[in-house]
Amino acid sequence: AQSVTQLGSHVSVSEGALVLLRCNYSSSVPPYLFWYVQYPNQGLQLLLKYTSAATLVKGINGFEAEFKKSETSFHLTKPSAHMSDAAEYFCAVSDRDTGRRALTFGSGTRLQVQP
């Protein structure tokens, strides 16, 4: 079974500082990996996804993530935080069952950006 662990349920950074949100996965086969962002009382918006191509994936809003197989990690980064980045972030892994293809989510990391 697949699983995702997000280290740190809350992360606080200053505006302009580096954002680093951690995600480790467990999967018996090469996974598909995702990062989603959720603003209060809204659905999830895809930031980026890894699908076995380039290990460094660039997403929207200046975010990027690097797939490291040796570390089973897919950490999300952004060089300079903006106030509008304050939200909850979810890492997810997709199984390869071609019918189901459901997402397994981590427990989420709430990002606070201090002025």
Partner 1 sequence: SQTIHQWPATLVQPVGSPLSLECTVEGTSNPNLYWYRQAAGRGLQLLFYSVGIGQISSEVPQNLSASRPQDRQFILSSKKLLLSDSGFYLCAWRKTGGGLGYTFGSGTRLTVV
- In the complex, which residues of this chain contact partner 1 (CB under 8 A)? 6, 9, 32, 34, 36, 41-46, 49, 51, 90, 94, 98-108
Residue number with CB closer to partner 1 (80 or 107):
107
Residue number with CB closer to partner 1 (17 or 95):
95
Q: Dump the DSSP string for 30-78.
A: PPEEEEEEE-TT--EEEEEEE-SS-SEEE-GGG-EEEEEGGGTEEEEEE
To partner 1, the closest distance from the beta carbon of 80 in angstroms equals 27
To partner 1, the closest distance from the beta carbon of 106 in angstroms equals 6
> CB of 3 within 8 A of CB of 94?
no
Place of tokens 């996974």: 31
